[in-house]
Each structure stands twice: as structure tokens, then as C-alpha cells.
Amino acid sequence: MSSKKRKILILTNHSYMLYRFRKELIEELMKNNEVVLSMPFVGHHDDFMNMGLRCIETKMERRGINPFTDYALMQFYKKILKEEKPDLVVTYSIKPNIYGGLMCAKLKIPFYANVQGLGTAFQKKGLAQFVTFLYKTAFKKVETVFFENQVNADEFTSRKIIPAEKETVLNGAGINLKTYEYKLYPNNEPPRFLYLGRIMKEKGMDELFDASEKLHNDGEKFVLDLVGFFEDEYKEKVDELVKKGIVDFHGFQEEPRPYYAKANCVVMPSYHEGMSNVNLEASATGRPVITTDIPGCRESVENEKTGWLCEPKNSDSLYEKMKAFLHTENSVREQMGKTARKKMENEFDKKIVVEQTITALGLK
């Protein structure tokens, strides 16, 4: 680390997610620097304060574009940047990236942005053009942009948002191998699939429910554990699958580790990801994963070695992979889980990702 103590301001849209996935990075940054966080308080903000961090509560509409609230956010960033006078700023997620980035450029403060997946903004043509324009403007002065997979980085360079020399691709946020320890493989009868995450269309819920019902109608024996919030449109469907004995619904759980430990296989049929943390957590626990063959999912799973890759938005493909898992010997499933754990140790160790991030921030 450089000898000069610097002041680092982190702008993000979600205190809970920042704590879950970036706590180790922040702990490392705190060793030789003063770190200040600006974020909406939606969980774990008290844990950050207990670590000795100063936290600035930030009002933000995380979804959608509202010119009035977005303008207010930009003015808020301008105010705190002037008050805090940070040496450098790190931004996470679309609004802090864009509005924080614009204000950093205006005030000539070096900033580093994190793009954690492209989300819906790049799926819809008109919106994609608008978001491209915003990013291009905001990232004119960016020092580097961190991406969680190469395909997302290529999208930004092909849209001429940034030149290739300003991209830094990391293996997502990495996985803490001590927090997510290997757990002995269970011998459940019937086997248990686990879906952990928000129960929403873009996570592949329609396909997961279709495939599960088809397997159930085939007479296959299994349980699908669902852990997460559901969007209202899925309430009836979840209730119906619970009644049929296909699904056990657990709601949102603050601590996911016992669910990974109990699972025989984790299913993540998402449409788009930066880097699926669920896949990393499941693999580190030693569980095979069935996931979509998309950027942000395929990097962490080796087809038929540590799990199975299926086609996105294709319930037949997902059905075939889930069926393949059910017809695999328990000893083979266990070995796939062990191979998955090895892959995490070799490629996704959070210590390595933290080290690479600090180097790219010019703090080493």
C-alpha cells in the first residue's frame, strides 16, 4: 500500500448487498485509508457503523428513471463530494455509476466504477440507447470500470462507452472460502433442488416451475426448496406448487448457508447476471449447480463436471438437465460438488479478487 492515507468515498444503491459481497474489500481498504459510505440504509448499515465506518444515508429510487428524483440524487452527490473532498470515489450499480460519475468528472475527482451485470437496461432497444448515452457521458473521465465477466466488458467497448484499456475484468466479487466452507454431501431421499434468490421472471422462474411440474408429472421424486422474496405475480403459482408437494417455500432468509448445506443441487436459470453469487456460494459449499449458459453463469460451472448448463429461457432444456441430475448416482453428484469446490479455490477466491481490485485502484 502507498504510505499516504487517502480518503475513499463509496457510492452504492444497497447497503445490504454491499455488506454481503464487498465487506472483505472494505475491510482491506480501511487498513490504510479513511473509508466513507453513501447508500440507502436497507440492512447491515449498522454492521458497517460497528466496523467504525461513517455512513451517509442516501435517498434513491433504485428502479426506473424519474427526472426529479434522479436530479435530486445528482445534486446530493455534488453536495457530499464537495463536503467530503475524497481522494477517490468507487461507485456500484447504475445510478451511482452515472450520477456519481458525472459529478466526480465535474469536480475533477478520480473515480472507479463497477458494472455488476447489464440488467434490463440493455435488453430494450430505446432504453439501451439512452443508457448508452448516459454511461458514455458519465464515463468520459472514469479511471477504470470493473466488470464481472468479459462479455459485459466487450459490450461497453463495442458501444464505445469506454476504450478497452479502461476495463478491468474480475471473477465477480469472488467467494469467501472460509464463510462458505465445504459441507458434506447429503443423502436426501427424495433429492432436494434449491433455488435461492428473488422469485421473478428474469431469474427464470417460469422455466423452473414448468420443468419442475413436468418432472413431477413424469413421476420423478424430488423437492424444490424456494428461498427468497417473491414478486406478487408468482404468489398463486408458488401456493399451487406447495399444495402439489413439489415446492417447499421458505421465504427470504438472512442466512443462506444451511439451505446450501441441505441441498443436493442448486438451480439458477437466470436470464442475465454479472456474476451469479448464488452459483459461487453453492459451488464453494460443494454442490453441483444447474444454470443457464450465459455470461455471468457459465464462467463458474463446468458442464457435466461441476454441474449442468442449460439454454436460457428454455424450460425443456432445464427439464432435461434436472432429469439428468436425478438420474445421476449420489456418489457422482458428490464428486461433482467436490470438483466445484476446487474450482472456487483455484479461480474465485475472494482474497485474490480483493487484491486485484486494490491494485487496479492504484492503492498498492
200: domain CATH number?
A: 3.40.50.2000
Residue 182 lies in a domain: no
> 57 with 40: CB under 8 angstroms?
yes
> 247 with 239: CB under 8 angstroms?
no
Residue 169 lies in a domain: yes
pLDDT (average), residues 159-164: 94
Residue 179 lies in a domain: no
- Residue percentage of the chain with pLDDT more than 90: 85
Residue 127 vs residues 134, 145, 160, 314: alpha-carbon distances, Å: 11, 21, 17, 25
Among 122-131, 221-230, 336-345, the least confident range: 122-131
Residues 210 and 66 grouped into a single domain: no
Residues 324 and 246 grouped into a single domain: yes
What does residue 238 show for φ and ψ, rounded to 5 degrees?
Answer: -60, -45
Residues 261 and 337 grouped into a single domain: yes
pLDDT (average), residues 330-343: 98
Residues 20 and 165 grouped into a single domain: yes
pLDDT digits (tens, 9 = 90+) for 238-277: 999 999 999 999 999 989 999 999 999 999 999 989 899 9
Beta bridge partners of 265: 193
pLDDT at 286 over 50: yes
pLDDT at 212 over 90: yes
pLDDT (average), residues 267-296: 96
pLDDT at 233 over 90: no
Residue 357 vs residues 21, 33, 115: alpha-carbon distances, Å: 13, 15, 13
Residue 329 lies in a domain: yes
pLDDT at 106 over 80: yes
Residue 181 lies in a domain: no
Residues 99 and 213 grouped into a single domain: no
How many domains is the chain built from? 2
pLDDT (average), residues 123-143: 86
Residues 76 and 196 grouped into a single domain: no
Which pLDDT score is estimated for 69? 77
Which pLDDT score is estimated for 184? 97
Compute the mean pLDDT over every residue in the chain, rounded to the nearest whole number: 93
Residue 125 lies in a domain: yes
Beta carbons within 8 Å of 151's beta carbon, 6+ residues apart:
295, 296
Which pLDDT score is estimated for 241? 95
pLDDT digits (tens, 9 = 90+) for 4-51: 789 999 999 999 999 999 999 999 999 999 999 999 998 899 999 999
Residues 117 and 216 grouped into a single domain: no
Residues 327 and 307 grouped into a single domain: yes
Which pLDDT score is estimated for 64? 64
Binning pLDDT at 50, 70 and 90, where does residue 294 land? very high
pLDDT (average), residues 123-134: 79
d(Cα 36, Cα 56) in Å, to the nearest integer?
Answer: 8
Which pLDDT score is estimated for 120? 66
d(Cα 250, Cα 176) in Å, to the nearest integer?
Answer: 25
d(Cα 151, Cα 38) in Å, to the nearest integer?
Answer: 29
pLDDT (average), residues 312-331: 97
Which pLDDT score is estimated for 3? 54
> 42 with 20: CB under 8 angstroms?
no
- 81 burial type by CB count under 10 A (0-12 exposed, 13-18 middle, 19+ buried): buried
Residues 161 and 18 grouped into a single domain: yes
Which pLDDT score is estimated for 1? 43
Residue 284 lies in a domain: yes
pLDDT (average), residues 44-69: 85
Residues 157 and 268 grouped into a single domain: no
Give this prediction's pTM. Answer: 0.89
Residues 327 and 356 grouped into a single domain: no
Identify the domain containing residue 301 by its residue range. Answer: 192-347
Residue 183 lies in a domain: no
Residues 142 and 291 grouped into a single domain: no
